[in-house]
Amino acid sequence: MALADPQPNPPHKPGAGEPPKPDDAAARLSAATARRSRIGRVLRAVTSPYYRYRHAKFFHSLRVGLAMLVSILATTGIDIPHGIWSSVTLLVVIGGLQHHGNIRKKAAERAAGTLLGAALGLALILQQNLFDSLTLTYVLMSVIAAICAWFAIGPAGYVALLTAITMCIVAGHGDNMIDTGLWRTLNVLVGIVIALAFSFALPLHATYSWRYLLADNLRECARIYTRMTTGVPFGPDEQAAAFVRMGKRLVQLRSLMPSVAKEINLPTARLDEIQRLHRAMLSALEMLSTGMLVHAGLRDAFAQQCRAEGNAVRLTLLAAARALRFAGTAHFRMPDAAALSAAMHAHASAANSEAGERIGQDAQVFATEMAPDLQGLLWLAKRFAEQVERMRTLLAATEPNWNIEGGAHEAAARR
């Protein structure tokens, strides 16, 4: 059996009292730095609004699960009677709440309904003990349920519904003892407190979802419009899939508007104005892309006519998308008209230097010889560019509201 050659410099292991070599200390320092960097990355990811937006279901389920564990430990864990009602109340209060704008309103409504229902339940138990008439108790419970049903169809519907539910939890069918009603009332209050405490743990602001969805649509609009103004073919299946995606985001944006308005103190009418303009932009872009599919032979002529303006529209859309996505940074803010005008002139100068005499032809003569179908496409492109500029103006005017990461103060000072 062949023996292995001895190593020229075998590794040296320090003894018990021997100090470590500099290489060992550097290795340990490098490992500690790597561990700290990994922890830092995890913390940055957890506290990042975009990360919480991408994993909203996970954070919501984690929050509800931890709140349920605390509810169990705070009631059944210390032998509080009827502790299950604390967990039931917790699920009713926080189970369906996700956005911070909903929490502020719904938490107050749910607390008010629960307290009112608990008071009515205790009153029913007291009258049952005084008069000992189940018939009267049933009639009173039915009357209260009918009154709650009357108010449930209206603005205070959630308060009325929870009032009736909590009344039944506390009083049962009038046969509960007074101590049972008091314990259930206490458990309900404990559940509300735990729910409110956990509802503010790493909340997902509806404003973030609204901004990111709008930014995705603006970015996709820029991609589609750039392909049309550069003469790149656009297939019907690809067009249909793109507008289906943007349509879904548009519907999601509509559902977020009430919560966003509460979070950023912006009138709903202003958000509705942005929503209507957004819908008009998608409609104009869809008609324009459909016209390009129908009149494929005009693709090059359209690209030649809209190249300079298309660059300005693309810059506006991408700048607005970046401002919505990275609102907390100083590098990405809503562009003003002067900056966009300078960028447009720069692109126009570059186009003139490349195109030469082709760009300098007489526009009026060309318009007289232009095909009617091409005139329609150019008219749609002009309307789309105007809508994009109006969207930029609206977003710039409301930036101090939707920029909630701390850059809002800077934006307000800049104005």
Nearest Cα to Cα of residue 85 among 169, 159, 163, 168: 169
User: Domain residue spans in the chain?
Assistant: 53-199, 206-414
Q: Is the pLDDT assigned to residue 374 strictly greater than 80? A: no
Per-residue pLDDT band for 356 (boundaries 50, 70, 90) equals: very low
**Which of 163-177, 178-192, 219-233, 339-353 comes out lowest in average pLDDT?**
339-353
CB 211 within 8 A of CB 328: no
pLDDT of residue 144: 94
Max mean pLDDT among 43-47, 227-231, 284-288 falls in 284-288
**99 has which bridge partners?**
204
**Furthest-apart CA pair in the chain: how many Å?**
103
CATH T-level assignment (fold) for domain 206-414:
Methane Monooxygenase Hydroxylase; Chain G, domain 1 (1.20.58)
Max mean pLDDT among 118-122, 211-215, 371-375 falls in 211-215
pLDDT of residue 250: 95
pLDDT tens by residue, 280-297: 999 999 998 888 777 767
SS3 content of the chain, % helix, strand, coil (to 5): 80, 0, 20
Sorted by sequence, the CB contacts under 8 Å of residue 211 that are 6+ apart come out as 324, 325, 327, 402
Max mean pLDDT among 187-201, 219-233, 291-305, 357-371 falls in 219-233
**147 has which bridge partners?**
none
User: What is the spatial distance between Cα 248 and Cα 252, in angstroms, rounded to a whole number?
Assistant: 6
Q: Is the pLDDT assigned to residue 393 strictly greater than 60? A: yes
Confidence (pTM):
0.67
Per-residue pLDDT band for 360 (boundaries 50, 70, 90) equals: very low
pLDDT of residue 157: 84
